[in-house]
Amino acid sequence: MSEGAGAGFLNAFSQTKVGNDTIFSWWARYQEAVSEGHDAVNGTIGALLEDDGELAINTVVDKVVRESPPIEIAAYAPLKGLPAFLDFSITLALGDMREELESIGMNMTATASPGGSGALFLAAANFADRGDKVLLRDRHWGPYDGFLAGCDLGIATYPLLPKNTEQNSFLDLESLEKELSKLCDEQNKVMSWLNDPAHNPTGLSITKQDRYDLMKCFIDSALKNEEVSHTLLIDAAYHLYAKQPHGWADTICQLLHDGISWPNNLLVTFALSLSKSHTIYGLRTGALVSIHPDKEVTDRIATVMGVTGRQTWSATSRLAQYAVSHIHNDENLGSKWDDERERLQHILENRRELFIEECQKLNVPINPTHDGFFAWMECDDPVHIANECAKSHVYLVPLTGGVRIGLCAIPTEKIVNVAYALSQALS
């Protein structure tokens, strides 16, 4: 079928949508190898699998979902979300720092969304003017591009890493400041998306000092450019599989305790996904949580996000909202959920430690990687590297600038195979 087919029916933007998703294309190649009888390794998908290859499922969540009352399965949820779920979402974003932030005058609001992707859409649709550029790191989750393009937004980038990482910093602060200043000169609104901790596609988590410096950078920019609104979106899709899951809330508290005034033109918002944290990918549930010192601002955001949801997907699925808030309002269930989450986190940590160790032995130059589902190898020709690995039936994902290694899906006993395949591909 030619790309021009249907042109009479499709608008100009729709006609730019071509091709297949890269990740699912390589997953299909893995599945084909398995169907042919090969002992293939799956490093393609972004879902946590047990070492036997089965999807990892938090049994506590599964049990509560299955035993939910019929009304919680069948009924609509309120447009903004179930109140108990919205309250839980704020705690999920801020952790133990929530109470402290409230005590020092920060207001919070949350809106339920169909997964973390829905939360990203809410932000893209409302926090930037059409035609603006949104500031990202140059290595980022590919679907960001589509969410932004669909809202008529462009992209500006700064490097994922500084040129010198020997100083134990994983933030190119100089480039960030430069790009932020440039956008402030050109736009009335500036929004930046930051996937941290446990960055997809690299597994990178910036340091405590990096967080402080980045947040201070946005505060200084907002104070300097009082006529420009600043929105910093923290994409926290993987944060509960990080060593410092609520580091951003801690950093905000630290800044405020250091006597730094919070500018009225600065908003921090968190895009949350229950897919990973609660292993309910298909129930498509997440939330957008925003914090600001002015309650009128957060109240207005709550209204706008609720209307946006109503005009886009109506209401978010009720079942997962009910089940998750029920779990976390029950001390016993919440404790059992956390035990299971810790078990899954240990699987990821073991795989990552082994992968780093094997890559060091074989001189495979992977990027710094700390938390979450993925690791990354920067390279000039990622498709070539992925194809070479596929010759050994190790299937990874070539993306812009490098190859993503889905540690979440690779059985621990196969980690050695992946490091070896990469070393052979490089040679």
CATH classification at residue 139: 3.40.640.10
pLDDT of residue 165: 67
Q: What is the pLDDT of residues 307-362, one digit of tens each?
A: 999 999 999 999 999 999 999 999 999 999 999 999 999 999 999 999 999 999 99
Q: Is the domain of 232 the same as that of 127? A: yes
- Find the CATH number of the domain harbouring 28: 3.90.1150.10
Which tokens sit at 128? 């930037």
Q: Is the domain of 207 the same as that of 246? A: yes
pLDDT of residue 164: 80
Query: Which stretches in the chain have pLDDT values below 70?
Result: 1-5, 19-20, 165-166
- Bridge-partner residues for 291, per DSSP? 108, 268
Domain hosting 128: range is 78-316
Task: Give the separation between CA 424 and CA 422, rounded to whole angstroms.
Answer: 5
pLDDT of residue 1: 53
Q: Is the domain of 175 the same as that of 298? A: yes
Final residue belonging to a domain, choices 247, 281, 316: 316
Q: Is the domain of 164 the same as that of 252? A: yes
Q: Is the domain of 151 the same as that of 300? A: yes
Judge whether 115 lies within some domain. Answer: yes
CB 136 within 8 A of CB 192: yes
Judge whether 259 lies within some domain. Answer: yes
pLDDT of residue 17: 77
Number of domains in the chain: 2
Q: Is the domain of 291 the same as that of 351? A: no
Q: Is the domain of 225 the same as that of 83? A: yes
Q: Is the domain of 82 the same as that of 209? A: yes
Q: Is the domain of 145 the same as that of 282? A: yes
Which tokens sit at 210? 């990096």
Judge whether 176 lies within some domain. Answer: yes
Place of tokens 């895009």: 271
Judge whether 326 lies within some domain. Answer: no
| Residue type, position 146, single letter | G
Judge whether 233 lies within some domain. Answer: yes
Judge whether 361 lies within some domain. Answer: yes
CB 424 within 8 A of CB 392: yes
CB 234 within 8 A of CB 196: yes
Judge whether 66 lies within some domain. Answer: no
Q: What is the pLDDT of residues 134-178, one digit of tens each?
A: 999 999 999 999 999 999 999 999 999 998 866 789 999 999 999
Q: How many CA atoms lie within 13 A of 352 on its CB side?
A: 23
Q: Is the domain of 29 the same as that of 89? A: no
| Residue type, position 34, single letter | V
pLDDT of residue 14: 80
pLDDT of residue 361: 98
pTM over cut 0.85: yes
pLDDT of residue 19: 67
Q: Which residues contact 317 (CB under 8 A, 6 or more apart)?
A: 77, 114, 283, 284, 285
Final residue belonging to a domain, choices 258, 282, 316: 316
Final residue belonging to a domain, choices 289, 316, 343: 316
Q: Is the domain of 38 the same as that of 128? A: no
Judge whether 2 lies within some domain. Answer: no
Cα distances (angstroms) measured from residue 392 to each of 42, 278, 290, 375: 12, 34, 46, 19
Q: Is the domain of 224 the same as that of 345? A: no
> Please, which contacts does 174-181 make with residues 24 or more away whose CB atoms are closer than 8 Å?
176/135, 176/214, 176/217, 177/217, 177/221, 179/135, 180/135, 180/217, 180/218, 180/221, 181/221
CB 423 within 8 A of CB 405: no
